[in-house]
Amino acid sequence: MAKTLADSVLDAGLDVIATSTEQYLCTSAPTDRATAISTSLIPVATPGFQAVADGTPNGRSLVCDASNGNTADDDGTATHVALCTGSALLLVTSLASNVAITNGMQINIGSFTTNFADPV
């Protein structure tokens, strides 16, 4: 049985993620905003986003821009990036590989893409 889903439905979810105003580099996968803050190795960064676009190979995608020039304020191993609003955790993604961080280190967080695939 074929299924279709309008792009506007997928876009609505990605648009919510794009309302994130806080980005954290975390030592574990947080389950809420408070944990994202308490496990972050950098002070809060402000994320930027590209416009929602066609995904690859299908669906819709949202690119979170790179965040450069962050200064670590703790030691630890970074494993995840978290995006939050002032009141909620919206997205957690794992890093491609864990990164050892030391206090005072300059940190660049690479861009990443969130994809919502078309239904199957």
Domain edges within the chain? 7-110
pLDDT in tens, the chain (120 residues): 889 999 999 999 999 999 999 999 999 999 999 999 999 999 999 999 999 999 999 999 999 999 999 999 999 999 999 999 999 999 999 999 999 999 999 999 999 999 999 998
pLDDT value of residue 41: 98
Plot region of 59 (φ>0 → left; ψ -120 to 50 → alpha; else → beta): left
pLDDT value of residue 120: 85
pTM of this structure: 0.95
pLDDT value of residue 1: 82
Nearest-angstrom CA–CA distance, 31 and 28: 9
Kindly state the DSSP code that residue 34 receives in the 8-state scheme.
H
Nearest-angstrom CA–CA distance, 37 and 39: 6
